[in-house]
Amino acid sequence: MRIVRRILITGAHGFVGTHLRRAVARTCPDALVIAGAADLRDMAAVSAMVADAAPDSCVHLAALSTVSQASADYDTAWAVNLHGTLHLAHALRASAPACRLIFASSAEIYGDSFSSGRPLEESSPLSPNTTYGATKAAADLALGAMAHEGLNVVRFRLFNHIGPGQSPAFAVSAFARQLAAIRLGQQAPVVNVGALDNARDFLDVRDVCAAYIAALTSDGLAPGIVLNIASGIVRRIGDVLNELRTIAGVNVQIHIDQARLRPSDIPFACGDASCARRLLNWSPSISWHRTLSDLLHDWDARLGCTA
């Protein structure tokens, strides 16, 4: 097993980063976690951050992380998601050349390839149809090229992950927030939604963090390797809303909010994570019901505390 002593995490205080810090504390209690706080657009600041951290491992989570954000702020999306990632990679090569970098890429980079209607493997063509997907695809490819120049990088292509602490900018968390508000009497019994017929491959964020831990501690991962992190199970978004409604125990009306619809939305997205299962000995273990229940109860707590 690979020994991890100093882990630099960019985006350490975000949704995934918060869960990952807890996972590291549980599974690698002797490892020091360093929260990277530099502006990724500033090469000098990133270089100083890496030099000070002297990491043997780095998980790069920081990004402009939603499709809508990236579309609304095109220049920042490219500056952070592509150029910021390259700044980090170059700084690691200069100051910590043996460091293992795990890059949080995205299933959004497959884009139009999902039109095949089947779970995609890592060899599937990259065909992003959003600015966010394009920025992540560019960074993914650039890091793959740098692996041939000595960068020790693992590229995770992550499918939709949800769980406690997630922003309501993401559909399932938005549903849970509204249902919690309704049963707390803070919102009329109407849930505003976007497209409900699309189907997605959802994961619990805690299972995602287990994959990060496995990649940090696994021996023998080839530099540049690509791994889909996915459940392989497709769930219709409308059905997910219905399951949340049942758990919440409230009667609601559904209102289609045109502002929540994405013209480039794809109807089906599912991943084949066979490589991750084989190479990392990883597979999702948290039940779907627990994921939804924990997300809903988390929103109960968040809204209850602010009521």
Task: Give the pLDDT confidence score for residue 264 in this predicted structure.
Answer: 67
pLDDT at res. 66: 87
pLDDT at 265: 79
3-class SS letters over the chain = CCCCCEEEEECCCCHHHHHHHHHHHHHCCCCEEEEECCCCCCHHHHHHHHHHHCCCEEEECCCCCCHHHHHHCHHHHHHHHHHHHHHHHHHHHHHCCCCEEEEEEEHHHCHHHHHHCCCECCCCCCCCCCHHHHHHHHHHHHHHHHHCCCCCEEEEEECCEECCCCCCCCHHHHHHHHHHHHHCCCCCCEEEECCCCCEEECEEHHHHHHHHHHHHHCCCCCCCCEEEECCCCEEEHHHHHHHHHHHHCCCCEEEECHHHCCCCCCCECCECCHHHHHHHCCCCCCCHHHHHHHHHHHHHHHHHHHC
Compute the distance between CA of residue 240 and CA of residue 291 in angstroms, rounded to an integer: 11
- C-alpha 119/C-alpha 83 separation (Å) is 30
Distance CA 203, CA 163 (A): 8
Q: Write down all domains in the chain, each with its CATH number in brackets.
A: 6-162+204-232+269-285 (3.40.50.720), 171-197+234-268+290-306 (3.90.25.10)
Q: How far apart are CA 175 and CA 179, in angstroms?
A: 6
pLDDT at 258: 85
Angle at 179 between CA 178 and CA 182, to 5 degrees: 85
Specify the pLDDT at position 259. 82
pLDDT in tens, 60-90: 999 998 888 999 999 999 999 999 999 999 9
Beta-ladder partners of 36 = 10
| pLDDT score for 36 | 96
- The pLDDT assigned to 307 comes to 41
Residue-wise pLDDT tens for the chain (307 aa)?
999 999 999 999 999 999 999 999 999 999 999 999 999 999 999 999 999 999 999 999 999 988 889 999 999 999 999 999 999 999 999 999 999 999 999 999 999 999 999 999 999 999 999 999 999 999 999 999 999 999 999 999 999 999 999 999 999 999 999 999 999 999 999 999 999 999 999 999 999 999 999 999 999 899 999 999 999 999 999 999 999 999 999 999 999 988 888 776 789 999 999 999 999 999 999 999 999 999 999 999 999 974 4
What pLDDT is stored for residue 213 in this prediction? 98
